[in-house]
A and B are shown apart, each in its own frame.
Chain A
Amino acid sequence: MDGEQFNQMMLGAGPGTGADVAPGMLPNLSRRGFIKVAGGAAGGLVLGLSLGVPGDAQAQSGPPPRPFVPGAFVRIAPDGKITLISKNPEIGQGIKTGFGVILAEELDAKWSDVTVAQAEVNAAVYGMQIAGGSMSTPLAWDELRHAGAGARAMLVAAAAQQWGVPVSELATSESTVIHAASGRKASYGSLATAAAALPVPDIRSLKLKARKDYKLIGQRFTGVDNPAIVTGKPLFALDVQLPGMRYASIEKCPSVGGKAKSFNADEIKRLPGIIDAFIIEGTPPVADVMKTGVLPGVAIIGKNTWAVLSARKALKVEWDTATASKDSWTGFVQQARALSKKPQGETVVKAKGDVEKALATAKSKTVEAFYQFGFVAHAQLEPQNTVAWFKDGAVELWAPMQLPDAALVGAAAGLPADKVKLNQMRVGGGFGRRLMNDFVCEAAYLSRRVDGPVKVVWTREDDMRHDAYRVGGFMGYRAGIDAQGKLAAFDAHMVTFKDTASGKVSKGGGISPNEFPADYVDDYRASQSFLPLSTPVVWWRAPGSNTMAWVQQSFLHEVAVAAGRDHVEFLVELFGRKSGTGAPTNRGLDPDRAIGVIKLAAEKAGWGKRLPKGHHHGLAFYFSHLGHIAEVAEVSVDASKKVTVHKVTVAADVGPVINLSAAENQCEGSVVDAIGTMALEVTMENGAAQQANFDRYPLPRMAVAPKVETHFVQSDRSPTGLGEPVFPPAVPAICNAIHAATGHRIRTLPITKEGFTLA
């Protein structure tokens, strides 16, 4: 996978409702193709390996009984305990449970026999182990089903051999092989040792279950780590404790990119519990924020967390800000408004027909609007941290990673990737921030300067001041409505950002050539112009889509209102223009799936029906991360502009749902995240973030959470991910409801800029 493909994956098949999956990103996993991939691509899918390596079974011989290890995903012990391996990071999206369910389904295991374990970080075995782009489920779906089915086939073959009966007479159920004709049964555990000695089945011989035969997939499962979570077991990197461990905290320049010139080292080193303090020069700046290594600052090493945090309060640092960011949000806003009125150096992203002529001759009317949205922080609740231990020429690390990167981390410690052992810990919230490994690099670097293990702890202030944020942006729209009240011409001009470090469009910024409704109107143009950005930005839950959905679906509602049309009818007509053109695979926006969820959400929410006094509905649709999602928000707004979201009805078409409980949880959480984020922003002045903790960045609390009702369209397609796509349409659905309630169109986020607050 090259860099551009990776970017496409993070964007979830592009930021637009019309984008296709980048070629090569989502393999069309026919079995033949799958084997080819497995046989050819190093670091790609490893199905051959997952089925082909008996692992421990080869390494040991003779008694005691050997664990049955058909590769990297399934382990069955002679006592019947089944361990299934989840290869990707668990960040709260529920993948550890979901991967276990997929494997157990095809293995035909009894769920209560199953333990799910986190895989080791090992690119040779698992390829890229990533929590990002909502791609874990679609990319692993076939691989995991084959791994489960392959293990099952070996157990069945072992039973057939023992009983002297053909495989075709055997069935399986709940971790047991059954020969109905003779009434014989054998547990998987009792067959495990014999099965391990058998040849690995040809992948083409494996028969996967039909959806109607699923026993586990689609049911509700509680998360496999829940008992450990509710009892406070050490699951997170911040919980790792090692004998003789030291603690480290790093003060960085408030203006991003500044370096420490000097500090009161003698005074700091004399403080109680402090072992050392020194300036970190940092690794050289990089063009790609994802490859950020060690940032400059002042490191303090001490005997416990409080000693180093207290010492930081006594720090007096002289900063060199020559290379630091001078970014100013208020400056950006002024420049963007000017650029929007009079574009300079704009890039046309897509143009067809003659949009200017069409707008000038619009039979009915034209609609114009300018939208603005700020930067926001990831604010995952577990601050950045990592434990590192350098010994015997290698470094071992325990870290909350979304994308383990041994080469990058090793470079920070002056070590090759094969001298880096990464331990994937449960991640206390990701939201994209932990696709970067800067905090892991810091720990690796410090491990060379500290005798014994060291834990790097970021404060919340460090986390918010040195986040790589969600990029802000600005969108100017014009639309022409024809005599029938139909959308006839559409012009979008986005003012977005380019990173000064790379000269490339900032991650999550920009407008895609396929952005909706490019394919749905004849006269269309999308263009963009850029402001230079020094502040780091990176992927943030549903990158691009989380703001594109808001501007686009708010504006289309403006058009529907101007045309005097019902919003549902307006959207159904618009998508209906391309009805029948959807792909049979999960490769892009399918207008009929869009119409399906729009109608489903409207029907389930009671669209057009009487609501309680003062309550109003708003609707939006967005396609991202291969998911077709429509949402209806029921909202009231009081006289002081306090917004209450009472209920959000979600209609989601993401193929068959794996774990219904986790799927609903993602929908509920995404809606709360969307509501909270509507009222939040990070502003920067002179390169420094103005919000550093939850007092000035007030994340949503319980009273804000609405009732969320979720309806899934089930199908025989391959399943797609759900960590991201429910967020984007929630924001415009709520803003459209605010318009219905008040007649006021929210065109600036956060909504506090327009005088609205969350009740």
Chain B
Amino acid sequence: MMRLQVNGKDLQLDGVAHDTPLLWVLRDELGLVGTKYGCGIAQCGACTVHLDGQPVRACQIPVSAVAGLKITTVEGLAQGERLSTLQQAWVDHDVAQCGYCQAGQLMSATALLATNPDPTDAQIDEAMAGNICRCGTYGRIKKAIKAAAQTGKGQAGKGQIGKEKA
């Protein structure tokens, strides 16, 4: 039996091979499917989660190595129904296209702002370099990070995001 602390909850795991990457434990055993599989070799960042606040690639971390560490996944970013500042910025800036990579992007961005609340463009490029967006939403990701850094708090999402006509 293994004990994990995920998104503030203490969980027990039975019958999981110790070499199983955290990614597959989260997805297959715990039903936390927000963390995505993209490459399995730490190239794409779709599986990014936090261990004690540090962004890591969950496809590379065996579950046996995370006992006692605080694991945060994309499901743990919001406070109940209230989105985090970055999540709200992602909605307000309509960042996603297919959306598959965005959990990993948000986890990297969250870690960045936790250590550097007002990053430059170059610092954002560097911190986000481990995350691939195949749809190419990088410009919006950057805008959303900068907006979140500026406001420090999210604004209520309205769905309709502007009055400007095309």
Contact = CB atoms under 8 A, between A and B. Distances in A.
Given A219-B162, A232-B103, A676-B136, A241 B74 contact: no
A708 to B, nearest CB: 6
Contact of B94 (A92, A226, A239, A380): A226
A219 B165 contact: yes
A714 interface: yes
5 contacts: A230-B83, A427-B98, A429-B135, A660-B165, A693-B43
A295 interface: no
B71 interface: no
A662 B98 contact: no
A538 interface: no
Contacts of B163: 219
A660 B92 CA distance: 14
B132 interface: yes
B140 A668 contact: yes
A363 interface: no
A665 B20 contact: no
Given A220-B162, A231-B83, A695-B41, A703 B96 contact: no
B113 to A, nearest CB: 15
Interface in A336-368: none
A237 to B, nearest CB: 11
Interface of B is mostly: loop
Contact of B77 (A231, A310, A661, A707): A231
B104 to A, nearest CB: 10
Contacts, number: 230
A380 B39 contact: no
Nearest to B20: A306
A380 B98 contact: yes
Given A226-B91, A230-B102, A665-B137, A382 B36 contact: yes
Given A272-B17, A665-B140, A708-B139, A702 B37 contact: no
Contact of B96 (A226, A239, A714): A226
Given A272-B17, A305-B27, A379 B134 contact: yes
B29 A426 contact: no
A216 B161 CA distance: 11
A111 interface: yes
A307 B164 CA distance: 52
Given A702-B141, A702-B142, A247 B136 contact: no
Interface in A219-270: 219-223, 225-227, 229-236, 238-239, 241, 247
A282 interface: no
Contacts of A239: 27, 33
B42 to A, nearest CB: 9
- The list of the 9 closest CB pairs from A to B, nearest first, reads A232-B34, A672-B136, A92-B98, A428-B100, A92-B97, A669-B136, A232-B74, A705-B138, A694-B43
Interface of A: 91-94, 111-112, 216, 218-223, 225-227, 229-236, 238-239, 241, 247, 272-273, 304-307, 309-310, 379-383, 426-431, 457, 459-460, 656-657, 660-663, 665-666, 668-673, 676, 693-695, 699-705, 707-708, 712, 714
Nearest to A304: B28
B46 A381 contact: yes
Contacts of A703: 125, 129
B8 interface: no
Contacts of A665: 94, 97, 137, 140
A200 B66 CA distance: 62
Contacts of B27: 239, 305
A673 B43 CA distance: 18
Contacts of B106: 230
A231 B94 contact: no
B46 to A, nearest CB: 6
Interface in B22-55: 24, 27-29, 31-41, 43-44, 46
A543 B132 CA distance: 23
A235 B73 CA distance: 16
B97 A660 contact: no
Contact of A222 (B43, B94, B135): B94
Interface string B75-103: 10110000100010011111111111111
Contacts of A93: 97
Given A306-B24, A428-B100, A701-B132, 18 more contacts: A111-B159, A222-B159, A230-B106, A234-B33, A236-B100, A381-B133, A426-B98, A426-B99, A428-B99, A457-B37, A693-B40, A694-B39, A699-B134, A700-B136, A702-B124, A702-B128, A702-B141, A707-B139
B43 A429 contact: no
Contact of A380 (B21, B77, B134): B134
B71 to A, nearest CB: 13
Contacts of A704: 138
B150 interface: no
Given A238-B36, A427-B98, A673 B17 contact: no
B116 to A, nearest CB: 15
Contacts of A238: 33, 36-37
A227 B75 CA distance: 12
A155 B162 CA distance: 28
Contact of B91 (A94, A220, A227, A705): A227
A673 B136 contact: yes
B160 A220 contact: yes
Nearest to A97: B94
A120 B83 CA distance: 30
B59 to A, nearest CB: 10
A219 B160 contact: yes
A383 B40 CA distance: 11
Contact of B98 (A241, A382, A707, A714): A382
B1 interface: no
B157 interface: yes
Contact of A221 (B102, B139, B159): B159
A642 B62 CA distance: 38
